[in-house]
Structure 1
Amino acid sequence: MRFKLILAFVDDDKTDKLLDAARKAGATGATIINNARGEGVKKSRGIFGLELTSQRDVLLFLVEEHHCRQILEKIAEVGEFDDTPGTGIALQMDVEDALGVKHQIESLSAELKNKI
């Protein structure tokens, strides 16, 4: 079984909504890294010219490659990534090898057998 890693960088107030959407689209779990910081093309400035940054979360999804595009598109849709600048980004990466995912492989294999 081949896996891909989806990384999504989102405002922390959207994390739960994106996790729910990803799960409905086929993700079997996620790892969340809280309190990440990032900046876009232009730095945000607030009162008195001080830098203004919102808290971001990094969501990591290890997914079976056949589910990847569907999950990625659902995350982007729910997160409004293409509609509103600065709401977040998501990307996918190939995973050469993964350990500790035996339970996930068994679950996905059973799901595929039920579809056939």
Structure 2
Amino acid sequence: MDFKLLMVFVDQDKTDRVLNAARKAGATGATIINNAQGQGLRPHLTFFGLEFMAARSVLLILVEARRSSEVLEAVSQAGGLDESLDTGIALELDVNRALGLSEHIKALSKEYPLS
């Protein structure tokens, strides 16, 4: 079975919405890294001239390859990723090898049989 890793970077207040959309589109789970920080195209300065970096979440979603496009589109819509410069990003990576998935593959094969 082939897998893709979706990495989604969004503001923490969008995490649940993005996870729910991913699950509805066929994802079976995710690993969430909270309190991540990063910089975008331009710094967000406060009125004191200090840079403000809002708390972000990094969602790591391992999905079966044939479902990855649907899940990626769903998280993009749920997170509003194309609305402005600072809404977040999502990307898809090929997974060459993954271990510890034997039981997951059995469950996926029953729930989503190959047609």
Say if 2:41 and 2:85, in contact at 8 Å, map to a contact too. no
Asked if residue 20 in structure 1 is aligned to residue 20 in structure 2, the reply is yes
Q: Name the residue aligned to 2:31.
A: 31
**Partner of 1:49: helix, strand, or coil?**
coil
The aligned counterpart of 2:100 is 100
Equivalent residue of 1:73, what SS?
Answer: helix
C-alpha distance in 2, partners of 1:57/1:80? Answer: 14
Q: Which residue of 2 aligns with 1:85?
A: 85
Higher helix content, 1 or 2: 1
TM-score, normalised to structure 2, is 0.95
CA distance in 2, matches of 1:92, 1:9: 12
**Residue 112 of structure 1: CA displacement?**
3.0
Aligned to 1:75: 75
Partner SS state of residue 26, structure 1: coil
Of 96-105 and 70-79, the range deviating more from structure 2: 96-105
Structure 2 unmatched ranges of 5 or more: none
CA distance in 1, matches of 2:103, 2:30: 14
Separation (CA, whole Å) in 2 of partners of 1:82 and 1:68:
18
Q: Secondary structure at the match of 1:70?
A: helix
Which whole-Å deviations, capped at 9, do the CAs of 1:57-107 have from their partners, x for residues lacking one? 100001100000100000001111112221110000000000111122112
RMSD: 1.1
Structure 1, unmatched stretches of 5+, are none
Amino acid at match of 1:26: G
- SS at the partner of 1:28? coil
Normalising by structure 1, report the TM-score: 0.94
